[in-house]
Amino acid sequence: MREPPPPMMSAPMMMDRKRMLVIGSIVFGLFLLFLGAAIVDSSHLTADLNTPAGADRANVWGPVVAHAGIFFFVVGLVGAAILLEDLDIFVRLFLLIVAFVALLLVLANSPTIFG
Distance of CA 113 to the CA centre of its chain: 13
Cα end-to-end span (Å), the chain:
70
Residue 21's contacts (CB-CB under 8 Å, 6 or more residues apart) are 79
Decide if pLDDT at 10 tops 60: no
Residue ranges per structural domain of the chain: 17-107
- pTM to 2 decimal places: 0.77
Q: Burial level of 30, CB count in 10 A (0-12/13-18/19+)?
A: middle
Condensed to tens digits (0 to 9), the pLDDT of residues 46-59 reads: 777 778 878 888 88
The answer on pLDDT for 7 being more than 60 is yes
Average pLDDT over residues 7-32: 82
Task: Determine contact, residues 100/78, Cβ cutoff 8 Å.
Answer: no
CA 64-65-70 angle, to 5 degrees, is 100
CA distances from 90 to 31, 60, 74, 81, 94 (A): 26, 38, 18, 10, 6
